[in-house]
């Protein structure tokens, strides 16, 4: 098949969306298909062009697997006003829609959302090429925009809901990343036979035989109990709770909070850590995807913090599967689909939401029960190998796409 994958975020962009779309491109190419990626020039999550790239109107990258067309986007900072971020999204829609005219006819189009504006590019290509359009959806907009404070409920929110329905109407098939997204689509009137659930997953093989001695030495982690977080430091993740928890545990001299990532909340986290005069928090900053397994390998336990809202009970973050594949016990602070995976696998603990005292309590439990924590890590590794190995799940997606094309 000739497959066009349209996504705003693609490596070297950081985060779950980039991780998911690059996995799709890699494996569909590995399975023998001709994959073309249409994406924005990399700016996420810092809001500025990555080193080594220029914000050209159109540039073409080619590796041994697939072709990548990168188009212009207006860079804005994570905490920019909503209107500026919307204009940034639309700038990519404009440049990519024009660039799509250069792309030869495809057998199928996959477009990734959010942002919900990106599917407009897919609709443009669909109308021109008369090609089936598949919406890969990892987050529900505009609900998630409201939950993170990006958009308040009102007439603009109502307008956004109508826009959501417009997008769904013009897509032919749907690939949600979790049962929450799937249920939302069904509630919006999408027929279940047009939906293929394709969960976030991980490449389990990249977490085997990992050595992190250099990182341990660089950050003086030897003989430390490392409470780790690797991922976006954004509004949905509510990472301030990590700093509050570090404050609760600052008298435990061997416990270190090791934070790998960037995002709109990082500066606020650093300022709060300075305010509390904490010496048990290390901010590493963003790291390339290929280096993340080496950092996770240094963790003694892993955190998944979330803002306490019902929307995120339906969310399953991709970092969960990295943590499990690394054989590390996981602590999450919100009941929902993600916590169900952790408890079903017996791979970690669930803390109370918005409660740094209880989160500290769960960390201390693992700290004081090393053998139990070790077994949780083993359980998680076995579970993710069985149910959330990316290659296996994308083989199922491939069959779904072949069936569409052959209709």
* pLDDT tens column, 61-94: 877 789 999 999 999 887 778 788 889 999 999 9
Judged against a pLDDT cut of 70, whether residue 330 lies above it is answered with yes
End-to-end CA distance of the chain: 13
Q: How far apart are CA 194 and CA 64, in angstroms?
A: 32
Q: Is 67 helix (H, G, I), strand (E, B) or coil?
A: strand
Give the pLDDT mean for 369-378.
Answer: 97
Judged against a pLDDT cut of 90, whether residue 271 lies above it is answered with yes
Per residue in 168-196, pLDDT (tens digit) is 999 999 999 988 899 889 989 999 999 99
Rg (CA), the chain: 21
Judged against a pLDDT cut of 70, whether residue 144 lies above it is answered with no
Q: Global pTM?
A: 0.87
Tell me what pLDDT residue 145 has: 61
Tell me what pLDDT residue 161 has: 76
CATH architecture group of domain 204-387? 3-Layer(aba) Sandwich (3.40)
Domain ranges (residues) in the chain = 2-201+390-406, 204-387
Which tokens belong to 175?
């690939």
CATH of 2-201+390-406, one of 3.40.630.30, 3.40.50.2000, 3.50.50.60, 2.30.30.60: 3.40.50.2000
Judged against a pLDDT cut of 80, whether residue 142 lies above it is answered with no
Rounded (to 5) percent helix, strand, coil in the chain = 45, 15, 40
Tell me what pLDDT residue 338 has: 92
Which tokens belong to 55?
């914000």
Q: How far apart are CA 134 and CA 28, in angstroms?
A: 15
Pairing relation of β-strands 301-304 and 58-62?
Answer: unpaired
CATH topology agreement for domains 2-201+390-406 and 204-387? yes
Average per-residue pLDDT for the chain: 91
Angle value at C-alpha 328, between 232 and 321, nearest 5 degrees: 50
């Amino acid at each position: 098949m000739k497959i066009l994958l349209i996504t705003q975020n693609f490596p070297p962009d950081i985060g779950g969306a980039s991780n998911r779309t690059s996995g799709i491109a890699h494996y569909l190419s590995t399975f023998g298909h001709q994959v073309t990626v249409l994406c924005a020039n990399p700016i996420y999550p810092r809001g500025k062009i990555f080193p080594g790239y220029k914000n050209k109107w159109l540039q073409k990258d080619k590796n041994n697997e697939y072709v990548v067309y990168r188009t212009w986007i207006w860079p804005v900072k994570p905490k920019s006003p909503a209107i500026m971020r919307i204009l940034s999204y639309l700038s990519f829609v404009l440049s990519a829609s024009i660039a799509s005219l250069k792309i030869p006819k495809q057998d199928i189009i996959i477009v990734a959302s959010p942002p919900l504006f990106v599917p407009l590019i897919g609709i443009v290509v669909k109308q021109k090429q008369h090609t089936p359009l598949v919406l890969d959806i990892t987050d529900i907009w505009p609900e998630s925009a409201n939950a993170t404070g990006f958009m308040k409920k009102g007439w603009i929110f109502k307008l956004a809901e109508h826009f959501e329905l417009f997008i769904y109407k013009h897509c032919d098939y749907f690939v949600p990343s979790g049962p929450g997204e799937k249920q939302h689509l069904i509630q919006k009137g999408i027929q279940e036979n047009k939906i293929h659930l394709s969960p976030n997953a991980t490449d389990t093989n990249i977490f085997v035989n990992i050595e992190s001695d250099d990182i341990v030495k660089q950050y003086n982690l030897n003989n430390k109990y490392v409470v780790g977080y690797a991922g976006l430091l954004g509004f949905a993740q509510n990472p301030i709770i990590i700093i509050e928890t570090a404050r609760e545990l600052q008298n435990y001299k061997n416990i270190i909070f090791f934070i790998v990532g960037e995002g709109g909340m990082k500066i606020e986290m650093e300022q709060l850590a300075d305010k509390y005069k904490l010496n048990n928090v290390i901010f590493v900053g963003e790291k390339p995807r290929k280096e993340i397994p080496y950092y996770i390998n240094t963790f003694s336990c892993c955190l998944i913090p979330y803002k306490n809202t019902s929307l995120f009970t339906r969310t399953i973050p991709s970092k969960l599967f990295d943590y499990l594949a690394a054989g590390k016990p996981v602590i999450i602070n919100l009941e929902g689909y993600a916590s169900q995976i952790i408890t079903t696998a017996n791979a970690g603990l669930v803390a109370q939401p918005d409660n740094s005292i209880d989160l500290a309590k769960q960390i201390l439990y693992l700290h004081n029960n090393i053998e139990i924590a070790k077994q949780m890590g083993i359980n998680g590794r076995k579970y993710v190998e069985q149910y959330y190995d990316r290659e296996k799940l994308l083989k199922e997606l491939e069959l779904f796409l072949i069936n569409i094309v052959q209709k």
